Amino acid sequence: MWYFAWILGVGLASTAAILNGMWFEAREQRRIEEKR
């Protein structure tokens, strides 16, 4: 049953990484729009 916890952990980690990347991209986009 260890693999279930491992898959869950990897899934959560990748979800966090994707959300983090999207958040940084949105923040950069907002900063670029403010400069105009």
Q: What is the DSSP string of 1-36?
A: -HHHHHHHHHHHHHHHHHHHHHHHHHHHHHHHHHH-
pLDDT of residue 29: 86
* Distances from the Cα of 10 to the Cα of 1, 15, 28, angstroms: 15, 8, 27
Tell me: the pLDDT tens digits for 4-28?
999 999 999 999 999 999 998 888 8
Q: Is the pLDDT of residue 30 over 90?
A: no
Supply the pTM of this predicted model: 0.61
Residue ranges making up the domain that contains 36: 1-36
- Give the chain's domain count: 1
Distance CA 5, CA 15 (A): 15
CA distance 23 to 31: 12
